[in-house]
Each structure stands twice: as structure tokens, then as C-alpha cells.
Amino acid sequence: MSGKDVWRWMLNKFDDGMIFKIYQEKKISCNGFRNITIHNVKTNRSRLITNLLSNLYYKKLLSWCEKEAELSMFEKNSLEDKEINELVLLATEHGTIPVLLQLFKEQQETKAVQLFAELKDEESGLLEISNQSIGHWNMPKEKKNDIKESQTEKDEKKKMKQEGNTTASSKQEEKKIEKLARKNRNLIDHLEQRDEQYKTKIEDMEKKHSAEVKRLNGKITTVSLLLKEKEDTITQYQKEKLKWDKERNKNQIQIELLEQKIKELQKELEEKEEKEDKEEKEEQKTSNEVDYRILIVGEPGSKSQFESDNIQFLFVPNEEVHSYDFMQDFDYCWVLCYELSRRDQYLLKQNQTYNELDESKLTICNEFSELRRLLNQYVNGKVRAF
């Protein structure tokens, strides 16, 4: 409900002359009418009332009430501090429309809407005013008394029907109190129900929170252990690297000399082995059996040098060095360290089956030249260049 609803009810109670006066004093126009006359009001009341309540002219209607309407029975702002029940009593004494107009005059539209809604909810006889019956609210005292007496008669009849001696205002107060009590009880029941729901919801949330905290604490513990293990691994790696660097720097010159000597000897060996490999290869042509099964750890980029008729080479991919089963059947195991990263070498050493290998089967190749020596020793034929 809004202020316009209250005004629509009041304007329907105004007589034609009062509505015509509003149009004249505020100079309000209406589409379809050249000039507003009293005859227009009589024949087109509903349309002219709707026009006054339009967004275009509603503020002018309020302005007319604030400035032009004269309500001699009220002092200025006399209703400002009145409660709704007090306004009901004033409406009983002075009439509903004068009280509503005074509220609009004092710019208390919200309170006017509340009063009108209260009278409507209580089905008050104060709203039982015939349409077009109000010509001016400054009525003669005798007329007011007539209205008052008429209202009193209605109230007396109402009292007799309800078998009570309580005044109209008291009954309205009782009804209001009863209504408020019902609302209060309903509100209390609603709040209790909502509190119970919130309590259950909070308990569920606390359980979920506890479970989540426990889960996270477990993860934090696991992460802490992994971080500690990572730190230990890094520390060990740094120590080994420092040791290896020192040893490498110390023997760098000797290594270079030895490498040069190895190259010379290897060349001589290759020449000798080439002849031997030829002979061995010719002998193996007559036999389809495999002499050796050799496991290669550290998969090389090219495998052409491992082609042989009498040897079966098995390759362990780098990513499997930690999980590979070294207890399988093979004759020798060659570990190509130069094909393994430091991490792969570390993981290889963590493989329990690798650590249990017979050392007589295990050969570590730190340089490619060592692999080439082994190939020349075991594979028939000359090793291909690559």
C-alpha cells in the first residue's frame, strides 16, 4: 500500500466541487480536456482522479494539501508525535479524512498509510463514508455533532452485538494487542525454530571443520617429512658433489694424460680386436644360439652398436632404474653412468635388487670408451662409428 492508495480513497469521498477546486488552484490539465469545468468533473470523475494520481501531477496534489488545505481543528505539526492508536481516536473525534489530510500536510505520508491500513485491517466504521460526500472538512459544529452522533449510534449498536460495554477505542486497542500478541508468539516460534536450525547447522559445520583440520594436519605432517627428506638429499648431494669436484680438480692433469694414453691404446686394441671379431663372427654364423644375455642400464640414444648374432642385449630405461628387478636371468650387467643423470644414479643405488647383484656380473662404465672396450670384447665384428 502507498500514499496514492490513500489519496484514491479520499478523492472518491470528495464531492465534485472539491476536485474542481484542486484543478483550479494548482492549474492542472488533463489530456482530452481543453479546460477543466465542474461539468467535466461530474461526468469524468474517475479519469480526473486517476490524472491527479499520475506521476506528473501527484506532487502538485501533495503541494495543494500542504499549502492550500486549511484544517482549523489541528495546530501545525500537532500530529507529529502521535501514535497510531492516538490517531484512531482523533479520527473518531474529527473524522478520518481531516486526520489523513493533516498527516499529508505535515509530510507524514508513511504514518498516513499506516493509519489507513490499520483502519482497513480493523474494518473500522470510520471508513464508512459515502463517495462524493465530503465538500469541505471545516464543517459547522452542528454538522460535526451530527456525524459524531451518527458514529456513536453505530458504535453503540456494535457494542450491543458484541455484548460488551467497552468503548470502540478500547476494543480497537484490545484487537490490536491481541493481534500483536499473535504476531509476537509466531515470531517467537519462528525464532526458536530458526535457532534450532542454526544450532544443528553450526554443529555440522564444526564436525566438518574438525575433520578438515585433522586431514590437513595429516597432510602437513607428510609434507614436513618429505621436506626433511628433500633437505637431507640435497645436503648429501652437495657433499658428494664437493668431494667429487675436489677429487676431479686434483686429478685433472693425470686424467687428461690417461685419457690420451687410453685413446692410443684403444686404437691399437681396436685394430687387434677388429681382426678377432671378424673371426668370431664367422664362427657364430653357423650357430643360432645366444652366448650371452647382457643387461644395459642407461639407455643410449643409438643402439646400432649393440647388434649381434650371439649376444642378446636387454635395455633398462632410465625412468625404471629405481623399480627394475635385477634378479632376472642375465649374464652381465653394464651400467652406463654417462647416460644416467645424477638423480638416476642416486635412484639406482636405492634399488635393493641392484645392491644384491653379484659383483662379478656388474661392470660400471663411466666413459663411452669403456663401453666400446666391452663391445669389442663381447660383440663379433667391428664396432660401428657413431
Average pLDDT score over residue span 168-182: 75
Q: What is the largest CA-CA distance in the chain?
A: 149
Q: What is the DSSP track for 352-363? A: HHHHTS-TTTEE
pLDDT tens column, 116-171: 998 888 777 788 887 777 776 544 344 344 444 444 444 554 555 555 445 556 77
Least confident of 31-45, 160-174, 283-297: 160-174
Average pLDDT score over residue span 365-383: 80
Higher pLDDT, 43 or 259: 43
pLDDT band at 53 (very low <50, low <70, confident <90, very high): very high
State whether residue 349 is helix, strand or coil.
helix
pLDDT score for 5: 94
Cite the DSSP H helix spans in the chain: 3-13, 16-26, 38-43, 45-52, 58-67, 84-94, 96-105, 109-121, 141-161, 168-250, 252-284, 342-349, 352-355, 368-378
Question: Do residues 79 and 102 lie in contact, with contact meaning Cβ atoms separated by under 8 Å?
Answer: yes
Question: Do residues 119 and 128 lie in contact, with contact meaning Cβ atoms separated by under 8 Å?
Answer: no
Would you kindly state where each structural domain of the chain is located, as residue ranges? 3-165, 167-238, 253-378
User: Vertex 19, ends 13 and 22: CA angle to 5°?
Assistant: 130
Residue among 335, 332, 360 at smallest CA distance from 345: 335
Highest average pLDDT, of 4-13, 115-124, 257-266, comes from 4-13
C-alpha cell of residue 208:
566438518
pLDDT tens column, 242-256: 888 888 887 788 778
Sheet holding 362-365, edge to edge: 311-316, 292-297, 332-336, 362-365
* Model confidence pTM above 0.85: no
Question: What's the rounded Cα separation, in Å, for the pair 25 and 322?
Answer: 102
For cell 502521535, name the residue: 82
pLDDT tens column, 376-385: 888 754 444 3
pLDDT averaged over the chain? 81
